[in-house]
């Protein structure tokens, strides 16, 4: 049966081989791991592989500006300069659907302001002052921004309906949305998935967790995932070097590899996995 499943290659050759060609289209994949293990680089591969295949990309980046994402991707052999980019922070509407819609902190800030203004306009008289104010890094703001991105890509004829083209959604990282309330991770993850999951959208979401906060940070997001890729590094004090690893912990509908790969980050190539 697995041959009937459409797959979205991640762009990392060894990983795609380990996944029977890629992640199942329409699935939600969570990438977990501490800082520096290569999560953001995996996101770049996933976006670049999509663009090469003709998939539009919605790229949420909370930790760095998209121009820096593009620059780092270029250093690692993924040139995205030929693709058109539209930031939702921009005032103008794109004339044609772009290849990439970027949702960065400035875009989220703009959407949060719009939501707050709308809530104020809808409130009556004295209630105006008490109208809801939306935070930049709130799950409602993120959901609205992603739906705006779907509209911009003109891949959804009506909100709530499946887009006609295959779209890739990257969220790097989700942890930013519950940084001050880790206990809400599970609830927010559900809310997000219910509001933005579409059959034709394949999503890659990163979650940062330090070993000490594993439970609260990791498990909220892992709960909604169709696939979990975990990345980590050996204790640097013991190893006296940065030794990175990647393992596929879960992948629905996939007879995936079950052993960990060593991860090398190679200029001009990006993530290069090897079996130890």
Ligand X SMILES: Nc1ncnc2c1ncn2[C@@H]1O[C@H](COP(=O)(O)OP(=O)(O)O)[C@@H](O)[C@H]1O
Q: Which is nearer to Mg ion, 29 or 152 (CB)?
A: 29
Q: Which of ligand X, Mg ion, none sits in contact with 256, Cβ below 5 to 8 A by type?
A: none
87 binds Mg ion (CB under 5 A): no
Query: Per CB under 5 A, does 27 bind Mg ion?
Result: no
CB 191: neighbour CB atoms within 10 A? 16
| Nearer Cβ to ligand X (39/86) | 39
Work out whether 60 is an interface residue with ligand X (CB under 6 A): no
Among 11, 33, 107, 218, binds ligand X (CB under 6 A): 33
Instruction: Find the part of the chain contacting Mg ion (CB under 5 A) among 39-47, 83-91, 182-190, 210-218.
Output: 39-47
Q: Which is nearer to ligand X, 165 or 243 (CB)?
A: 243
Q: Which residue lies nearer to Mg ion by CB, 30 or 153?
A: 30
Site of tokens 């620059």 = 71
- State both tokens at 80: 């995205």
Adjacent-strand bridge partners of 206: 31
**What residues from 172 to 231 belong to the interface with ligand X (CB under 6 A)?**
none
Q: How far apart are CA 95 and CA 18, in angstroms?
A: 40
Closest CA to 28 of 211, 219, 250: 250
Residues 6+ positions from 67 with CB-CB distance below 8 Å: none
Among 37-45, 104-112, 209-217, 246-254, which window interacts with ligand X (CB under 6 A)? Answer: 37-45
Of 167, 126, 172, nearest in space to 147 by CA: 167
Binding of Mg ion by 40 (CB under 5 A)? yes
What, of Mg ion, ligand X, none, does residue 36 touch, CB below 5 to 8 Å by kind?
ligand X
The closest of 27, 20, 18, 29 to 1, measured between CA atoms, is: 20
Q: Pick what 161 binds: ligand X, Mg ion, none; C-beta below 5 to 8 Å, kind-dependent.
A: none
Of 35, 68, 117, 269, the one binding ligand X by CB under 6 A: 35
Q: Which two tokens stand for residue 180?
A: 């001050």
What b-and-e string marks burial along 135-147, b requiring 16 or more CB atoms within 10 Å of the CB?
A: ebbbbbbbbbbbb
Give me the residues that bind ligand X (CB under 6 A), please. Answer: 33, 35-41, 72, 75-76, 265, 267
């Amino acid at each position: 049966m697995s041959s009937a499943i459409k797959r979205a290659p991640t762009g990392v050759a060894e990983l795609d081989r380990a996944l029977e060609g890629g992640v199942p289209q329409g699935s939600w994949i969570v990438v977990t791991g501490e800082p520096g293990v290569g999560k953001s680089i995996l996101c770049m591969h996933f976006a670049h592989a999509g663009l090469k295949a003709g998939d539009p990309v919605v790229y949420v980046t909370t930790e760095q500006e998209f121009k820096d994402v593009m620059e780092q991707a270029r250093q690692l052999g993924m040139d995205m300069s030929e693709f058109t980019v539209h930031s939702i922070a921009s005032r103008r509407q794109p004339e044609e659907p772009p290849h990439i819609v970027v949702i960065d902190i400035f875009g989220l800030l703009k959407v949060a302001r719009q939501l707050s203004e709308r809530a104020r306009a809808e409130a009556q008289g004295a209630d105006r002052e008490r109208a809801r104010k939306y935070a930049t890094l709130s799950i409602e703001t993120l959901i609205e921004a992603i739906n705006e991105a779907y509209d911009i890509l003109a891949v959804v004829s009506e909100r709530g309906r499946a887009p006609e083209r295959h779209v890739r959604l990257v969220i790097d990282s989700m942890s930013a949305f519950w940084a001050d309330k880790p206990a809400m991770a599970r609830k927010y993850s559900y809310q997000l998935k219910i509001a933005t999951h579409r059959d034709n959208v394949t999503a890659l979401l990163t979650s940062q967790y330090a070993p000490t906060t594993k439970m609260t940070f990791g498990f909220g997001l892992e709960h909604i995932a169709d696939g979990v890729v975990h990345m980590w590094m050996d204790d640097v004090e013991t190893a006296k070097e940065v030794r990175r690893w990647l393992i596929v912990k879960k992948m629905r509908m996939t007879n995936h590899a079950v052993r960990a790969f060593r991860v090398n980050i190679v200029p001009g190539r990006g993530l290069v996995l090897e079996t130890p």
